[in-house]
Amino acid sequence: MPEEESHLEAERRAKIARLRSAGIDPYPPAFPDRRPSREVVAIAAALAEGQEDAGRSLRVAGRLGTIRTHGKTSFADLVDGDGAIQLIWRSDALGEEAYRRALADLDPGDLIGAEGAAARSRRGEPSLVAHRIVLLAKAIAPPPEKYHGLQDPEERIRRRYVDLLSSEESRHRFRFRAEIVRAMRGHFSDAGFLEVETPILLPVAGGAAAAPFVTRSRYLDQELQLRIAIELALKRLLVGGLERVFELGRCFRNEDLDTTHSPEFSMLEAYWAYADYGEMRRLTEELFARLARRAVELAPEREAVRASAARFEPPYPTLDFVDALERASGLSGVLEMTADDLRRHARAIGATVPDASPAGVFLDKLFEHYVEPTIDHVTFVVDHPAITTPLAKRHRAKPGRVERFEIFYRGFELGNAYTELNDPDEQERRFQEQLHAQAADRYAYDADFVEAMRFGMPPATGIGLGVDRIAMALWGTESIKDVLLFPQTRPRSAPPS
RNA sequence: GGGCCCGUAGCUCAGUCGGCAGAGCAGGCGGCUCUUAACCGCAAGGUCAGGGGUUCGAGCCCCCUCGGGCCCGCCA
């Protein structure tokens, strides 16, 4: 609540006082039996210009947009959930007193209900001729400028409600995201995967290499971490006999925010017993094709969505990690190179990772530099060198490789899948190797997970999909903040004391 | 973490060479029965992000701080 209000807000408070003294509640409890503006627009659109469907009374409710006063007739725009309709206020239809009061007491941004007849204006605009207008909630803060809306990117994020109420594009974008999430969930459900919910608060956050957020349980008198991945919980469920499981939920990584990274982000992880990464690839390709179709259904008028959807359609190119890297870089024999060789090549392209990094880090840097920029269509990068990927199963045919695919799209990663490691002794060994190779604060040793695997985890494949990034990619935006309702921001600076 | 850029009325934006703080929208008052970024007239609206400095004089020049954007780095 701002401490000082503008004169605009003082005017609006004065109107509230005026209404109350006239016995009108500026915040009544409900407005039943309303119709979506779209329905009324459809009825009105069937009429001739200037014609009014006086036979039935219809009710609409929403936010008041611009008011165009024109003497004894005025026009006002009413915006509701996914549409808008023009209201015609006429002195003769409303009564002189009600007409005068509407103009005096209502402002853009107020929530109102209107009852009246569908009509088309003489200029042809589908409208509702109001016979009654009811204030449903007086807005004290004025809405942004009617034509440009809220432009300041900082304000659009900090006060998302203002962005949403003033921007149909923004409302559409978040409905779009929600429907993409629904389609992703539906795809795995339809394929027989059980949707589960596993803990976010953990004694130790594992399943990925990332810095966790740390918190504390007063009850347990113990430090807890917020999960960085869902993987280890879901694999425990495979051990427990749940053969196809997935979870779509928030993960948290205590790292910087940029256009493709948010400290909290949504992942969909799915694990499938007795299947391998080839089967997961088929399921994933069906998902991407489904998402491409759905995106176009949801936003057929958006050129950026049609362009993205085209890049999400099959067939999907496959790039063998090693072949693609060697072809693009001119290097050869990368699998046989020593860590020193790889570091030298990585240095040559300007990578600035520490000298002591595991050799796989240098390979990843080389791939990023030489191959990723060439990827445009959704592409499956497969069969990575084993040294880049400690948690996947060794490739059954290609020595030195693992059974893995990553899904790339225009410079960023959308998903990552393996044939999962299920040998508890090898799992233990790889955990130990990681522990020695990486900074201890970036690595979690989950002893209970190894214990679970000792009871027998079926051969399985698993995938992790970046939900926010998929929504970004399909909508055609460059920034993850565009698909997060409330991205993290620093607190506003405190006023000087 | 480094570089560049931005912050002026509730909102969208101008502000020249350092010389009285501007417009449009929104709001107030008046006019108009078919407008749709309605239109016409009048009046009002400012901690120029915050702090410090230079100067006769700072929105403008310099320094610091805060917030944001873009690029790079980090994030295997």
Through-space separation of residue A496 CA and nucleotide B53 C1' in angstroms = 19
Calculate the alpha carbon distances from A226 to A198, A229, A236, A237, A273 in Å. 12, 9, 18, 19, 27
Which nucleotide C1' is nearest A495 CA? B50
> Chain centroid to CA A253: how far?
16
| Helical pair A467-475 and A277-298, crossing angle rounded to 10 deg | 40
Which stretches of chain A score pLDDT less than 70?
1-5, 435-444, 492-497
Q: What pLDDT score was predicted for residue A438?
A: 55
Interface predicted TM-score (ipTM): 0.89
Which nucleotide C1' is nearest A71 CA? B32
Q: CA-to-CA distance for A299 and A476, rounded, in angstroms?
A: 11
Q: What angle do CA A385, A388, A394 make, to 5 degrees?
A: 50
Q: What pLDDT score was predicted for residue A1?
A: 36
CB-based burial, A50-80: b 16+ in 10 Å, e otherwise = eebbeeeebbbbbbbbebeeeeeebbbbbbb
Q: What pLDDT score was predicted for residue A2?
A: 40
Tokens of A371: 């191959």
Q: What pLDDT score was predicted for residue A49?
A: 94
Which nucleotide C1' is nearest A391 CA? B76
Tokens 């803990």, residue? A199
Q: What pLDDT score was predicted for residue A408?
A: 94
CATH code, residues A7-143: 2.40.50.140
Q: CA-to-CA distance for A129 and A58, rounded, in angstroms?
A: 10
Q: CA-to-CA distance for A458 and A32, rounded, in angstroms?
A: 55
Digit-coded pLDDT (tens) for A182-192: 999 999 999 99
Amino acid at A71: G
The closest of A228, A225, A178 to A204, measured between CA atoms, is: A225
Q: CA-to-CA distance for A117 and A84, rounded, in angstroms?
A: 16
Through-space separation of residue A151 CA and nucleotide B17 C1' in angstroms = 32
Residue nearest to nucleotide B26 (CA to C1'): A145
Through-space separation of residue A429 CA and nucleotide B37 C1' in angstroms = 67
Q: CA-to-CA distance for A184 and A176, rounded, in angstroms?
A: 12
Q: What pLDDT score was predicted for residue A442?
A: 53
Which nucleotide C1' is nearest A152 CA? B68
The whole-chain average pLDDT of chain A stands at 91
Query: What is the fold of A165-317+377-483?
Result: BirA Bifunctional Protein; domain 2 (3.30.930)
The closest of A156, A182, A181 to A169, measured between CA atoms, is: A156
Residue nearest to nucleotide B13 (CA to C1'): A148
Tokens of A351: 């990578």
Q: Do the beta carbons of residue A242 and residue A196 sit within 8 Å?
A: yes
Which nucleotide C1' is nearest A50 CA? B34
Which nucleotide C1' is nearest A351 CA? B73
Q: CA-to-CA distance for A358 and A46, rounded, in angstroms?
A: 69
Q: Which residues contact A67 (CB under 8 A, 6 or more apart)?
A: A74, A75, A76, A103, A106, A108
Q: CA-to-CA distance for A433 and A182, rounded, in angstroms?
A: 39
Q: What pLDDT score was predicted for residue A259?
A: 87
The closest of A264, A196, A195, A254 to A444, measured between CA atoms, is: A254
Q: What pLDDT score was predicted for residue A440?
A: 47
How does DSSP classify residue A144? P
Q: CA-to-CA distance for A347 and A366, rounded, in angstroms?
A: 10
Q: Which residues contact A355 (CB under 8 A, 6 or more apart)?
A: A343
**Start-end of H helices in A221-350:** 231-239, 277-298, 303-311, 321-329, 339-348
Q: What pairs with residue A412 in β-bridges?
A: A409
Residue nearest to nucleotide B6 (CA to C1'): A152
Residue nearest to nucleotide B50 (CA to C1'): A496
Q: Do the beta carbons of residue A61 and residue A87 sit within 8 Å?
A: no
Nucleotides in B strand less than 7 A from protein CB: 1, 7, 9-13, 24-29, 31-39, 44-45, 47, 49-51, 66-76
Query: Cβ atoms within 10 A of the Cβ of A311, count?
Result: 19
For chain A, which residues make up each domain, given as ranges?
Answer: 7-143, 165-317+377-483
Digit-coded pLDDT (tens) for A311-354: 999 999 999 999 999 999 888 889 999 888 888 888 888 777 77
